[in-house]
Amino acid sequence: MAGERIVKGALIGCGFFAENQMRAWQELEGVSIVALCDRDPRRLAHFQALFGIEDTFTDAETMFAALTGSGNRGLDFVDIATTTQAHAALVPLAARHGVDIICQKPFAGSLAMARRLIVQCAENGVSLSIHENFRWQRAVRQTIEVLRAGRIGRPFFGRISYRSGFDVYKAQPYLARVERFIIEDLGIHVLDIARALFGEVERLSCETARVNPGINGEDVATLMLHHDDGVTAVVDCSYATRLADDPFPQSLIEIDGDNGSLRLRQDFELEIHGAEGGCDRRDVRPEPPAWSEAPWWPIQESVLAFQADWLKARRHGRAVETHGEDNFNTLALVEAAYRAAAAHQSVVPARWSR
């Protein structure tokens, strides 16, 4: 890093999850968050005191005007950590000011809006990266790499399961009020893991349920995906599952191939089963940063890993895996899942194309 210019960024959105992003940015070398923006002065003041950022703004346009353009202090990127509804205005605003963009998932409320945001960023010559961190959890990443290395041959079946009774509504009460919950908020992560493992999806089916009577959206979803390469995958998500040993916030994975199988267990053990019956067991438990706390270790570690890769990608002139065009296809699976659940039939998801 010696001699390299510090990459300057701003954070928009000072909510619950953004604390993880800020702590990760402050741990990484060669990058500095120079400004904070949030419409709520109380949240803004909390982040300012917590992270020691001098420049704060309650209006994003004012922030960009102060930090970009000739004679100003300069800004290289913005990390948008707001709710989805705000992205339609914030992403084009950042693009017009010529700064690269990291945007929280889901990065758009519809595929039409997602397409517009991707095109606007391209037309303004800025990168659009989606903060999709689940595929960067150490246990999940190790599973992806072992599969891509061909250790079990050609996969033909997979299952990615995220089942928990953890009270997610306590820290994020708005989740109890949204009409579309588990697929849009959690399932999007698990579907992205499925794409990272098995590639694009030709068609899918989905069934949902609402077990908790105190929420508006679905809290259980079961999907079956047929991937282009012939893999059949089951993606199942639940926040209504009561377990004495709750795996939150882990994703558990099973993959069968024509030359072996993989099993990512709840104890952070990755089993690589060979065709001849042997089993190679690997410890893939998180290596969390010092500021991480239970039970959030896998998530907080993955935030740091994603942001580190984004920074490395920017320095080397490449896109991160979850760039806008790629994540369009993950978002398309979410939209297709809701259509499939409503129709109780298999549907073909949209795909990115210009």
Per residue in 43-96, pLDDT tens? 999 999 999 999 999 999 999 999 997 666 689 999 999 999 999 999 999 999
CATH number of residue 270's parent domain: 3.30.360.10
Mean pLDDT, the chain, whole residue set: 96
Q: What is the pLDDT of residue 70?
A: 62
- Do 124 and 167 sit in the same domain of this protein? no
- Domain assignment present for residue 285? The answer is yes
- Do 141 and 266 sit in the same domain of this protein? yes
Q: What is the pLDDT of residue 171?
A: 87
- Do 271 and 292 sit in the same domain of this protein? yes
Per residue in 309-330, pLDDT tens? 999 999 999 999 999 999 999 9
Q: What is the pLDDT of residue 235?
A: 98
DSSP 8-state secondary structure symbol assigned to residue 245: S
Average pLDDT over residues 347-354: 94
Q: Which domain holds residue 271?
A: 136-305+329-343
Q: What is the pLDDT of residue 276?
A: 87
- Domain assignment present for residue 148? The answer is yes
How would you classify residue 76: left for phi > 0, otherwise alpha for psi between -120 and 50, otherwise beta?
A: alpha
Per residue in 136-151, pLDDT tens? 999 999 999 999 999 9
- Domain assignment present for residue 323? The answer is no
CA 120 to chain centre: 21
The H or E element that residue 255 is part of is strand 252-257
- Do 210 and 290 sit in the same domain of this protein? yes
- Domain assignment present for residue 214? The answer is yes
The H or E element that residue 195 is part of is helix 188-198
107 Cβ neighbours under 8 A, 6+ residues apart: 84, 87, 91, 114, 117, 128, 130, 324, 327, 331
Q: What is the pLDDT of residue 71?
A: 60
- Do 61 and 142 sit in the same domain of this protein? no
Which CA distances in Å does 237 have to 206, 253, 341? 11, 12, 14
Q: Are 220 and 190 in contact (CB under 8 A)?
A: no
CA–CA gap between residue 36 and residue 67 (Å, rounded)? 11
- Do 92 and 185 sit in the same domain of this protein? no
- Domain assignment present for residue 312? The answer is no
Number of domains in the chain: 2
Query: Which of 73, 104, 131 is the last residue before a domain boundary?
Result: 131
- Do 231 and 256 sit in the same domain of this protein? yes
Confidence bin at 25 (pLDDT 50/70/90):
very high
- Do 144 and 68 sit in the same domain of this protein? no
- Do 118 and 230 sit in the same domain of this protein? no
CATH number of residue 44's parent domain: 3.40.50.720
Confidence bin at 252 (pLDDT 50/70/90):
very high
Q: What is the pLDDT of residue 74?
A: 85
Q: What is the pLDDT of residue 277?
A: 87
Average pLDDT over residues 291-302: 96
Q: Does the structure show a pLDDT above 60 at 2?
A: no
- Do 55 and 194 sit in the same domain of this protein? no
Helices (H) and strands (E) in the chain, counts: 10, 14
- Domain assignment present for residue 154? The answer is yes
- Domain assignment present for residue 324? The answer is no
Query: pLDDT exceeding 90 applies to what percent of the chain?
Result: 95
How is the beta sheet containing 269-274 ordered, strand by strand? 201-209, 220-227, 232-238, 155-163, 252-257, 260-264, 269-274, 279-283
CA–CA gap between residue 82 and residue 36 (Å, rounded)? 12
- Do 156 and 210 sit in the same domain of this protein? yes
Query: Which of 94, 114, 131 is the last residue before a domain boundary?
Result: 131
- Do 123 and 140 sit in the same domain of this protein? no
The strand pairing partners of 8, in sequence order, are 32
The pairs formed by 177-182 with CB atoms below 8 angstroms and a separation of 24 or more are 177/215, 177/216, 178/216, 178/217, 179/216, 179/217, 180/217, 180/218, 180/338, 181/215, 181/216, 181/217, 181/218, 181/219, 182/208, 182/217, 182/218, 182/219, 182/220, 182/221, 182/237, 182/238, 182/239
Parallel, antiparallel, or unpaired: how do β-strands 55-57 and 31-37 relate? parallel
Confidence bin at 3 (pLDDT 50/70/90):
low
Q: What token pair was written down for 201?
A: 């999806």
Q: What is the pLDDT of residue 33?
A: 98
Query: Which of 131, 157, 191 is the last residue before a domain boundary?
Result: 131
- Domain assignment present for residue 321? The answer is no
Which CA distances in Å does 102 have to 39, 85, 95? 19, 16, 11
DSSP labels for 262-327? EEE-TTSEEEEEETTS-EEEEE------TT--TT-HHHHHHHHHHHHHHHHHHHHT---TTBHHHH
